[in-house]
């Protein structure tokens, strides 16, 4: 069974007729791994081997290779099914944080309102009837709520009406401006609100998860574009150099191991590298477009839109404020008398508080971590870009190295005419057909 899906993907992209070098360049895998994987794939999916006169091997696969594997191996089907199930589960996990936030807010709002009315009823029993409405007494007697001044919102006296009308007119004036940006805010992100909450908390994953794949694909394409012979400076923009490339070319060792390369030293002491197995291909192909250097993507805090982030942060602050208010209310004598629903809320209060603090604390810590990480990403990108600039204006010594490398450049395309043996047909039939072809060639010459 295929252990590396990258090999199967490479075979499909290359048209089902490949060499080990083709797959290595397309997938970025080591030559040995690609060759072993192709042999396993040919055995499992009914592929065929074609051998040229000079001994190169071409692997030929049916177009239904993936279907054959799926029908043959139940494990692949189970893996694909589990992958789809995990996508659903992960989506539910993502939206669960938003659901928990809304539930936490509702839970605390109901608890706070219940405690307020319990306090009002308790005060009504102790206050004289002339003291006025119990709700007004509660607001005026509680210094904490005087700070919030909620009663002001529900004041409908004559002197407040003028202010309210002006406030409405002011809001209408701003509404037209808000409408101008509403569409742009919504178009900033493809995430819904619950997904935006998860993105705000934990981000959206590593933007460079495919970095190694892109790195080796780029290196393989560069070698193939240069007909299998290069100098170290041509690959430096795609590697992470731990030292000055002028001091040592040790960074080329992983490339030589992965693609079965060989160093060659000129009479002047310059080293070039050639890769015979990447010089052989199953069909003619144009040079691949490769960026001048390997560029890492910066880590983004969140893919949520600006309006979504404002709303999420606002809800997070509101949730934290509710937790603080609830904590203050539960500290009094009333907290010891609570039961039922309020008793349940009191029992999980520390969970609500920790969640409220973590909801704002985790993104704050993540923001500074990403900021430091992006500095390192920019530094590596700048280093690779500097190496790429060296190639745009080569020194005389580098020019001589490039010229020497061209002596080892070669390209060989194995066509059907080059095939002397194929597992598609019986060996005896192939020998007879080959003998007949030789006779016809001699007849033409005579």
Which one is predicted more confidently, 30 or 294?
A: 294
Q: How confident is the model at residue 424 (pLDDT cuts 50, 70, 90)?
A: low
pLDDT band at 129 (very low <50, low <70, confident <90, very high): low
Decide if pLDDT at 27 tops 80.
yes
What CA–CA distances, in Å, run from 69 to 6, 44, 50, 73? 14, 7, 21, 6
Q: What is the pLDDT of residue 336?
A: 54
| DSSP letter string, 306-354 | HHHHHHHHHHHHHHHHHHHHHHHHHTSHHHHT--HHHHHHHHTHHHHHH
- In this prediction, residue 337 has a pLDDT band, given cuts at 50, 70 and 90, of low
User: pLDDT grade, residue 423 (50/70/90)?
Assistant: low
> Which residues contact residue 47 at a Cβ distance below 8 angstroms, ignoring those fewer than 6 apart?
38, 41, 59, 60, 61, 62, 65
pLDDT beyond 90 at 29: no
Rounded average pLDDT over 12-40: 87
Q: How confident is the model at residue 248 (pLDDT cuts 50, 70, 90)?
A: confident
Calculate mean pLDDT across residues 97-104. Answer: 91
pLDDT confidence bin for 231, thresholds 50/70/90: very high
- Find the mean pLDDT for residues 420-446: 57
Specify whether the CB–CB gap between 319 and 101 falls below 8 A.
Answer: yes
The better pLDDT of the pair 192, 335 is held by: 192
408 or 134, which is more confident? 408
Q: Is the pLDDT of residue 431 over 60?
A: no
DSSP string, 65-90: HHHHHHHH-HHHHHHHHHHHHHHHHH
The pLDDT assigned to 173 comes to 56
Residues 137-176 have pLDDT tens digits of 444 444 444 434 433 434 444 444 454 555 555 555 555 5
pLDDT tens digits along 299-333: 999 999 889 999 999 999 999 999 999 988 888 66
Q: Binning pLDDT at 50, 70 and 90, where does residue 368 land?
A: very high
Q: Is the dihedral of CA 143, 149, 155, 158 positive or negative?
A: positive
Ramachandran bin of 205, using left for φ above 0, alpha for ψ from -120 to 50, beta for the remaining angles: left
How would residue 421 be classed by pLDDT, with cut points 50, 70 and 90? low
3 or 380: whose pLDDT is higher?
380
Q: According to the model, what pLDDT value does residue 435 have?
A: 55
Picking from 243, 271, 256, the residue whose alpha carbon sits closest to that of residue 383 is 243
* Predicted confidence (pLDDT) per residue in 31-40, tens digit: 888 888 888 8
pLDDT at 313: 94
pLDDT band at 78 (very low <50, low <70, confident <90, very high): confident
Q: Which has more pLDDT, 429 or 20?
A: 20
pLDDT of residue 124: 77
Nearest Cα to Cα of residue 285 among 17, 4, 52, 7: 17
CA 109 to mean position of chain CA atoms: 38
286 close to 322: Cβ distance less than 8 angstroms: no
In this model, does residue 89 exceed pLDDT 70?
Answer: yes
- Give the per-residue pLDDT at 359: 93
Residue scoring higher pLDDT (130 or 102): 102
**% residues pLDDT > 90 (the chain):** 27
Least confident of 97-111, 175-189, 195-209, 229-243: 175-189
What pLDDT, on the 0 to 100 scale, is given for residue 184? 43
pLDDT in tens, 250-275: 788 889 888 888 888 887 778 899 89
Please state, in angstroms and rounded to a whole number, the distance separating the CA atoms of residues 359 and 204. Answer: 16
Quick check: 280 and 19 in contact, CB under 8 A? Answer: yes
Q: Are 118 and 136 in contact (CB under 8 A)?
A: no
Strand partners, 421: 51
Q: What is the mean pLDDT of the chain?
A: 79
State the pLDDT at residue 153: 38
Q: What is the pLDDT of residue 295?
A: 94
pLDDT at 442: 57
pLDDT-derived band at 352, boundaries 50, 70, 90:
very high
């Amino acid at each position: 069974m295929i252990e590396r899906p990258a090999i199967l993907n490479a075979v499909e992209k290359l048209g089902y007729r490949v060499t080990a070098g083709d797959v290595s360049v397309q997938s970025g895998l080591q030559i040995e791994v690609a060759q072993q994987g192709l042999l396993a794939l040919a055995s499992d999916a009914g592929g065929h081997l074609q051998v040229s006169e000079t001994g190169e091997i071409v692997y030929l696969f049916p177009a239904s290779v993936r279907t054959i594997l799926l029908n043959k191996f139940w494990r692949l089907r189970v893996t694909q099914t589990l992958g789809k199930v995990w996508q659903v589960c992960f989506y539910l996990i993502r939206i669960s944080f938003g659901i928990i936030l809304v539930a936490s807010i509702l839970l605390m709002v109901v608890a706070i309102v219940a405690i307020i009315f319990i306090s009002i009823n308790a005060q009504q029993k102790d206050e004289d009837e002339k003291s006025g409405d119990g709700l007004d007494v509660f607001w005026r007697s509680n210094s904490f709520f005087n700070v919030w001044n909620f009663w002001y919102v529900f004041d409908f006296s004559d002197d407040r009406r003028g202010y309210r009308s002006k406030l409405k007119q002011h809001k209408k004036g701003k509404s037209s401006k808000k409408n101008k940006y509403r569409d742009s805010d919504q178009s900033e992100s493809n995430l819904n609100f619950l997904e935006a909450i998860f993105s705000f908390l934990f981000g959206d994953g590593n933007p460079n998860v495919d970095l190694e794949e892109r790195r080796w694909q780029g290196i393989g394409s560069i070698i193939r574009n240069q007909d299998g012979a290069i100098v170290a400076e041509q690959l430096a923009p795609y590697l992470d150099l731990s030292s000055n490339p002028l001091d040592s070319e040790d960074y080329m060792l992983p490339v030589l191991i992965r693609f079965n390369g060989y160093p060659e030293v000129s009479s002047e002491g310059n080293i070039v590298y050639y890769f015979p197995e990447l010089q052989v291909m199953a069909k003619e192909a144009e040079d691949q477009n490769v960026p001048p250097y390997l560029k890492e993507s910066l880590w983004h805090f969140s893919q949520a839109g600006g309006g979504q982030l404002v709303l999420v942060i606002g809800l997070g602050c509101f949730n934290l404020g509710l937790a603080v208010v609830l904590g203050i209310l539960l500290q009094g004598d009333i907290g010891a008398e609570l039961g039922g629903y309020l008793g349940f809320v009191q029992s999980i209060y520390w969970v609500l508080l920790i969640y409220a603090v973590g909801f704002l604390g985790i993104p704050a810590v993540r923001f500074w971590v990403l900021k430091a990480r992006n500095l390192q990403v920019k530094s590596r990108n700048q280093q690779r870009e500097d190496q790429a600039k060296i190639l745009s204006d080569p020194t005389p010594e580098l020019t001589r190295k490039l010229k020497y490398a061209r002596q080892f450049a070669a390209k060989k395309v194995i066509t059907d005419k080059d095939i002397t043996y194929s597992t598609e047909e019986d060996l005896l039939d192939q020998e007879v057909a080959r003998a007949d072809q030789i006779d016809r060639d001699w007849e033409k010459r005579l």
